[in-house]
């Protein structure tokens, strides 16, 4: 498999729809808007296979922190180190050892898909934020995990 990792400042319409599709499938339809991916103050790093986006990483610099806003790998490409490659690219090209990094992991039924990858990059759980999506879940986006109520929690990680 030959995977290319690169930063894309302006996603073209096809790349934009590929990111939206990945997000819709993983987080629920409507979770990320097109506007989200077109924002100028975010860093967008993508993983490409044969020129198609199979994963994306969104990071942003805030006043005090660097925030890993989202990392998502198409289901059939997960657990093949692509998430690790996206994180490595960001940490090497955009961060210094002094940066305070914050990431938010989604926890469902006591499992945290992003827990291990966060640990790998020196981030540890610092706070359980609770059900931060409750007011939006199944309203502004359709989460596939929704089960009569929102069942996902958010855990804040930091270095
Ligand atoms: C979490 C995610 C980004 C990891 O990307 P990936 O390409 O599958 O990760 P990697 O193959 O680089 O694996 C990194 C580590 O995480 C572990 N891991 C990957 N997916 C996992 C999962 N679903 N549950 C538990 N651990 C997982 C791997 O075993 C690996 O550990 P190792 O290096 O000790 O073997 C990806 O699974 C994903 O998109 N998940 C759904 C969306 C999500 O939860 N995003 C994070 C919140 S925004």
Please give all residues whose beta carbon lies within 6 A of any atom in ligand 1, as ranges.
26, 70-73, 78-84, 105-106, 113-114, 116-117, 120
Residue 144 has pLDDT above 90, yes or no: no
CATH number at residue 153: 3.40.630.30
Pairing of strands 52-61, 43-49: antiparallel
Pocket probe mutation, ligand 1, options 48, 73, 85, max atoms within 8 Å of Cβ: 73
pLDDT digits (tens, 9 = 90+) for 53-88: 999 999 999 999 999 999 999 999 999 999 999 999
How many distinct structural domains can be found in the chain?
1
End-to-end C-alpha distance for the chain, whole angstroms: 32
- Tell me if 114 sits within 8 A of 106, measured CB to CB: yes
Atom of ligand 1 nearest to the CA of 79: 11
* CA-72 nearest atom, ligand 1: 39
Q: State the pLDDT at residue 68.
A: 97
Residue 1 pLDDT exceeds 90: no
The secondary element (H helix, E strand) that includes residue 136 is none
Pairing mode, strands 66-73 and 52-61: antiparallel
- Rg from Cα positions in the chain: 15
Alpha helices for 28-159 (secondary structure H) = 34-38, 82-94, 115-120
Ligand 1 centre and the CA of 31: distance in Å? 19
- Which structural domain, as residue segments, surrounds residue 69? 3-158
Q: Rounded CA gap, 159 and 130, in Å?
A: 20
Q: Tens of pLDDT along 97-128?
A: 999 999 999 999 999 999 999 999 999 999 99
């Amino acid at each position: 498999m030959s995977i290319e990792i690169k930063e894309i400042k302006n996603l073209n319409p096809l790349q934009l729809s590929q990111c939206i599709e990945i997000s819709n499938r993983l987080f629920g339809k409507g979770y990320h808007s097109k506007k989200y991916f077109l924002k100028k103050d975010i860093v967008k790093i993508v993983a490409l296979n044969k020129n198609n986006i199979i994963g994306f990483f969104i990071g942003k610099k805030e006043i005090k922190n660097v925030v890993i806003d989202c990392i998502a790998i198409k289901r059939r490409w997960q657990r093949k180190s692509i998430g690790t490659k996206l994180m490595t690219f960001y940490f090497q090209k955009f961060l210094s050892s002094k940066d305070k990094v914050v990431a938010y992991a989604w926890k469902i039924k006591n499992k945290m898909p992003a827990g291990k990858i966060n640990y790998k990059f020196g981030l540890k759980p610092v706070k359980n934020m609770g059900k931060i999506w409750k007011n939006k879940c199944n309203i502004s986006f359709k989460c596939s995990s929704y089960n009569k109520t929102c069942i996902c929690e958010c855990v804040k990680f930091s270095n």
